[in-house]
Structures are given as structure tokens and as C-alpha cells.
Amino acid sequence: MADENNNIVDCESPLKRPGEEGQRMEEDGIKLNNNNNDNKSVAGISSIISGWFSEISPMWPGEAHSLKVEKVLFQGKSDYQDVMVFQSSTYGKVLILDGVIQLTERDECAYQEMITHLPLCSIPNPKKVLVIGGGDGGVLREVARHSSVEQIDICEIDKMVVDVSKEFFPDVAVGYDDPRVRLHIGDGVAFLKNAPEGTYDAVIVDSSDPIGPAQELFEKPFFASVAKALRPGGVVCTQAESIWLHMHIIEDIVSNCRQIFKGSVNYAWTTVPTYPSGVIGFMLCSTEGPSVDFKHPINPIDTDGNQESRPLKFYNSEIHSAAFCLPSFARKVIQPKAN
């Protein structure tokens, strides 16, 4: 079906509750153990045991972050991944994809606001923005704060993520309500390949970790497609892992971006308590053309008086500039490859 703005919707299966999937819940309704030896995905490693969700993955070996579960609200399996939502004791509702925390109601602002406003506040008057991934709608919500934006395209591969987010995270998925948004359900890699050259002022890649369906979003051909879709002096911001856990991945991302993007190449980071190691990074790059100084915002949204009804919770111009200050061990690796 399609809404009145011709947003593309491809939904053949309704949302399913845990009981409809046949999972046996114990008497307290939350004690689950997802140990299926036939399931080789990350979802077969993370589990809920005795009322606690523990996020265990080979992406962060030897450690796990746990949240106390009050109630499992949804469990399902899409064509691409396992999807779960639960009510936690301290972070509100939590969205899990393939056993990995994607967002919580309490700290999602730190990620959504930074991945959006770091790029959009670094260029004057962005008009056309593309979001790859980001099916929860949080990045859309933040892009919509920019009054200069005329068109917001989003390409999300998993329709279930969109549906689940609209049902359980309405304050995040509110971004879909903006009439400038056009939703495309499909492969972001293919979508970018088909995008006309120089279409977008900004591309925001809100991807999960580089395993499973998101792996291609960290590779050089994808970055080349992003650069082609951007106008001269256009910008991209992509999720770029943790400096505490993934310096080898970050090093490769920086090298790939430096080869593809002929303008600025920068790495920034922020704190998100429920992400592995409590931090997450962003790769910010610009194409050849008008110069972009990511470290000094020129489009300061935090002074916009139109945000009174839904004020920013995390981002401001000071934290924008501070996000590019790297600890010495990370700077030693990143700077030589970025310059």
C-alpha cells in the first residue's frame, strides 16, 4: 500500500506477538534462552536468562552489557534478521536486531541527534537528504528539524523494523509523519547505484554493525556510490563503530573513505551508554567542491526557535566541535590515514 505522499510500503505479513511465534514463555513472562544450535547468527548468542538480556557478540569478545527485562513486548523474524522489543527497568523500551541493541528510549537521542546534525549543521541550507537504514525513524525525526530540507528519502531493507518502530517507539518513528519523507523498502546499495549523480546534499548511513545485511555498507564500492550521489561539497555521515573495540575496522573505513572522497575526511564520536563500550563513532566526509569544515558548524540548529515543542536533548554546537577531539591512541591511527 502507499500513503497519501506515495511513500512506498511493502507489507504482506502483520506483526506477530511472541505467542503467535510459538515461543514458550515461562511463568514470569520474561525468562527466555535463545540457544538454538542451528542458528549461527548473533541472535543465537545473545539471550534473556533469568530476567536479564545480555548482549554477547564476536564483535566485542569477552564482554557483555546486560539490561533487566520487565516484559518482552515483541519477537519476530523478518526476511533478514530477528527482531525483538522489550521493556527494560532503566532504559525504557529497547529495540534488538539479531541480538544487538539498536536503540533504547532513554539514550537514543545521543545517537540520532549526533549522526544527523554533525553533517547537516556543517553545510549551508541542505535541501535533499538520503537516509540509508535508519528504519526506526529517529534520523528522519532529526532531519525534519532542518527547515531548509525539501526532500527526505529513506531506504530501509527491512519492513518489519519500520512497522515495529511505529508501534512501539512512536516518539522515534514520528519522523515518518513528515510530508517531506519518502520511504523506499529495499537494498540501500542498489538504491544508491540507481540514484542520479549529484542528487543529494547529504547522505546519512544509519547502519548496524558490519555483519549480516549491513556488511556492504562498510565497503569501498558503497562509498563510491555515495560519493556519486552527492553534489559537489556534499556530505556523508556513517556509523563507524567504537574506538575501544574496533580500531581495525575504523582504520579500514578511514582508508576507504580517503581514497573515495576528495574533500574532508573526519572521525567523530559520542557516548551512548547502551552501545558496546558506551561509545559510538561516525565517519564524516565531503566530496570535492565547496570546502566543508566539519569541526565548526555553520548551520546551528540548537539556536532555532522552532524546536520548542520537541527540544534537542543531546546535540549542541559545543558538543559538535568536541566530538572531533580524539584520544591520543585513536588519533595516532586515524589522523595519518584521514589526511
Residue 116 grid cell = 544527523
Among this protein's residues, is 209 annotated catalytic?
Answer: no
Q: How many Cα atoms occupy the beta-carbon half-sphere of 264 within 13 Å?
A: 22
- Using CA atoms, how far apart are residues 132 and 90, in angstroms rounded to an integer? 30
Q: What is the largest CA-CA distance in the chain?
A: 62
The catalytic position among 163, 206, 209, 302 is 206
Checking 299-308 for CB contacts under 8 A at 24+ apart, the result is 299/120, 299/121, 299/122, 299/123, 299/124, 299/125, 299/126, 299/146, 299/148, 300/121, 301/117, 301/120, 301/121, 301/145, 301/146, 304/145, 304/147, 306/145, 306/147, 307/145
Residue 58 grid cell = 564476536
Q: Which residues are catalytic?
A: 206
